[in-house]
């Protein structure tokens, strides 16, 4: 199946982004390789205005094939994979006619995706699904979205009897570190609205997401010979541990759900002289989000009084905001998604994202941009899998959105 082969080709590229390189776009040079490949592919299938800018953002156009005035819409997906798990040397495998039992990914290493831990597998009994070998993530987040978009526009080129307006596609780096939309050229994209294909399970529609910030704490200690350190040493590693202990233990990703926000420890390193701690801060409610940031600032201020000036340095940076306030005035874009899914025999499922998407940032940049399922599950780790029927339905949804936009 062409869409499957396309997806498997995309995951052969290691495009892992890096939280250590926020100031560079893309955060890893290896993302350029997939960007260049997409430029070649989009040109080969017949799109126009195909280009890649200096930051690895790829843009292209499916020209209108009718004189009827139709809004220009866009479809967007990200090329990078999560820093949480390796994206190098991915070895995908297709499990045909999944039987509902635990999935052995690597028997020798004892790596198993078990249905007790991952009961969502049971929703896909009898389907062909793509899995990993247990040592990397798969990359359905978001290479499934790219495959669905590319296959959809290719299909429309091959079927000129389906009338449509101008459609733009955009593929960007660094979504997984919250920086994917920061250098997206909304003006050049030139759309009235857009859609990111970056959700999970079949039928998901998301236009509400976390407000998000990244916090990094750099700690400078005082190193003294341990035999003579009393009253003099400040152990940066212990200061980092002290900071972590002051964070709410019941407000983490592992202890919250639905609309509950959290503080998430994403990285730590240290020695006596220097240490660093990284957190991400999330909440759907804007007021509670601001309160969370003030709480962190308060902890730093309290510890500074205890340890002294210059020991702790906090860098706090907002990443994106809840897109709901930008989508509600243009709810027809949601109505079109629902109609497109129903036309593909998909039950629409509106839900809030316990995370973020490039569409959130783009919505605040003037491009209303809700998020649609891409079909994969268990993102960011070796138990990620992609039901092939979900991939096909994603492609059908994109085609239907384009058709319904033209009809309305």
Q: What is the largest CA-CA distance in the chain?
A: 83
Phi, psi dihedral angles at 344 (to 5 degrees)? -100, 15
- Residue 397 scores a pLDDT above 90: yes
CA–CA gap between residue 90 and residue 78 (Å, rounded): 18
Calculate the average pLDDT of the chain.
Answer: 95
Asked if 30 and 94 count as a contact pair (C-beta separation under 8 A), the reply is: no
Structure tokens, 172? 């960007």
What is the share, in percent, of the chain residues with pLDDT greater than 90? Answer: 89
Peptide bond into 142 cis (omega under 30): yes
Check residue 353 and give its pLDDT.
Answer: 85
Arithmetic mean of pLDDT, 397-406: 98
Check residue 253 and give its pLDDT.
Answer: 95
Where in the sequence of the chain do the CATH 3.30.70.360 domains occur? 211-320
The CATH code of domain 2-209+322-407 reads 3.40.630.10
The CATH code of domain 211-320 reads 3.30.70.360
**Model-wide pTM > 0.85:** no
Asked if 46 and 157 count as a contact pair (C-beta separation under 8 A), the reply is: yes
Using left for φ > 0, alpha for ψ between -120 and 50, and beta otherwise, residue 253 falls in alpha
The three-state secondary structure class of 83 is coil
Check residue 354 and give its pLDDT.
Answer: 87
Arithmetic mean of pLDDT, 394-400: 98
Asked if 134 and 395 count as a contact pair (C-beta separation under 8 A), the reply is: no
CA–CA gap between residue 188 and residue 60 (Å, rounded): 11
Q: How far is CA 307 from the centre of its chain?
A: 38
Asked if 407 and 23 count as a contact pair (C-beta separation under 8 A), the reply is: no
Check residue 408 and give its pLDDT.
Answer: 86
Check residue 233 and give its pLDDT.
Answer: 86
- Residue 357 scores a pLDDT above 80: no
Query: Beta 204-206 vs 349-350: how paired, if at all?
Result: parallel
- Residue 90 scores a pLDDT above 90: yes
Query: Beta 204-206 vs 111-113: how paired, if at all?
Result: unpaired
Asked if 274 and 221 count as a contact pair (C-beta separation under 8 A), the reply is: yes
CA–CA gap between residue 12 and residue 9 (Å, rounded): 5
| CA dist list (Å): 122 to 98, 119, 349 | 9, 6, 18
pLDDT band at 44 (very low <50, low <70, confident <90, very high): very high
CA–CA gap between residue 314 and residue 299 (Å, rounded): 10
- Residue 80 scores a pLDDT above 90: yes
What DSSP line would sit under 277-343, residue for residue? EEEEEEESSHHHHHHHHHHHHHHHHHHHHHH-TTSEEEEEEEEE--THHHHGGGTHHHHHHHHHHHH
Each residue's pLDDT tens digit, 235-275: 999 999 999 999 999 999 999 998 999 999 999 999 999 99
pLDDT band at 12 (very low <50, low <70, confident <90, very high): very high
Each residue's pLDDT tens digit, 166-210: 999 999 999 999 888 989 999 999 999 999 999 999 999 999 999
- Residue 288 scores a pLDDT above 90: yes
Q: What is the Cβ-side half-sphere exposure of residue 64, based on CA atoms within 13 angstroms?
A: 12
Question: What burial letters (b/e) apply to 322-356, b meaning 16+ CB within 10 Å?
Answer: bbbebbeeeeebbebbbbbbeebebebeebebbbb
- Residue 95 scores a pLDDT above 90: yes
Each residue's pLDDT tens digit, 132-146: 999 999 999 999 999
pLDDT band at 6 (very low <50, low <70, confident <90, very high): very high
CA–CA gap between residue 63 and residue 403 (Å, rounded): 14
The counts of H helices and E strands in the chain are 10, 17
Asked if 139 and 10 count as a contact pair (C-beta separation under 8 A), the reply is: yes
Where in the sequence of the chain do the CATH 3.40.630.10 domains occur? 2-209+322-407
pLDDT band at 23 (very low <50, low <70, confident <90, very high): confident
- Residue 225 scores a pLDDT above 90: no
pLDDT band at 224 (very low <50, low <70, confident <90, very high): confident
Check residue 178 and give its pLDDT.
Answer: 82
Contacts of 16 (CB under 8 A, 6+ apart): 28, 30, 80, 81, 82, 83, 86, 87, 88
Arithmetic mean of pLDDT, 208-214: 92
Check residue 45 and give its pLDDT.
Answer: 98
Check residue 341 and give its pLDDT.
Answer: 98
- Catalytic positions are 80, 175
Q: Name the burial class of residue 226, with classes exposed (0-12), middle (13-18) and buried (19+) by CB atoms within 10 angstroms of its CB.
A: exposed
Q: Where are the alpha helices (DSSP H) in 129-183?
A: 140-158
| Least confident segment among 32-46, 215-229, 285-299 | 215-229
pLDDT band at 113 (very low <50, low <70, confident <90, very high): very high
């Amino acid at each position: 199946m062409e869409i499957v082969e396309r997806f498997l080709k995309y995951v052969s590229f290691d495009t892992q982004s890096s939280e250590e390189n926020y100031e560079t776009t893309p955060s890893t040079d290896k993302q350029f390789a997939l960007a260049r490949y997409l430029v070649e592919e989009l040109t080969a299938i017949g799109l126009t205005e195909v280009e890649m800018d200096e930051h690895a953002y790829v843009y292209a156009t499916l020209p209108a094939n009718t004189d009827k005035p139709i809004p220009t819409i866009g479809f967007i997906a990200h090329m990078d994979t999560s820093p949480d798990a390796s994206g190098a040397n991915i070895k995908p495998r297709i499990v045909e006619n999944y039987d509902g039992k635990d999935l052995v990914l690597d028997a020798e290493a004892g790596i198993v995706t078990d249905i007790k831990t991952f009961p969502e597998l049971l929703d896909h009994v009898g389907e062909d699904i793509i899995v990993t070998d247990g040592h990397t993530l798969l990359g359905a987040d978001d290479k499934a979205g790219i495959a669905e978009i590319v296959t959809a526009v290719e299909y429309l080129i091959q079927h000129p009897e389906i009338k449509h307006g101008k459609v733009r596609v955009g593929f960007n780096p660094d979504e997984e570190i919250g920086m994917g939309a920061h250098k997206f050229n909304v003006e050049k994209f030139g759309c009235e609205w857009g859609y990111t294909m970056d959700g999970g399970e079949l039928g998901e529609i998301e236009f509400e997401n976390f407000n998000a910030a990244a916090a990094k704490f750099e700690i400078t200690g005082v190193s003294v010979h341990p035999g003579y350190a009393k009253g003099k040493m400040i152990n940066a590693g212990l200061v980092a541990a002290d900071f972590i202990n002051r964070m709410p233990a019941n407000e983490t990703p592992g202890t919250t759900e639905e609309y509950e926000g959290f503080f998430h420890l994403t990285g730590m390193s240290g020695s006596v002289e220097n240490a660093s701690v990284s957190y991400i801060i999330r909440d759907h409610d804007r007021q509670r989000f601001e309160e969370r940031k003030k709480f962190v600032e308060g902890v730093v201020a309290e510890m500074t009084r205890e340890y002294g000036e210059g020991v702790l340095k906090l860098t706090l940076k907002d990443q994106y905001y809840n897109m709901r306030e930008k989508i509600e005035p243009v709810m027809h874009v949601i109505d079109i998604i629902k109609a497109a899914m129903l036309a593909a025999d998909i039950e629409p499922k509106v839900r809030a994202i316990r995370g973020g998407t490039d569409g959130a940032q783009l919505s605040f940049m003037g491009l209303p941009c809700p998020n649609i399922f891409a079909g994969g599950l268990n993102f960011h780790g070796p138990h990620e899998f992609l039901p092939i029927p979900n991939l096909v339905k994603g492609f059908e949804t994109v085609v239907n959105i384009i058709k319904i936009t033209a009809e309305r």
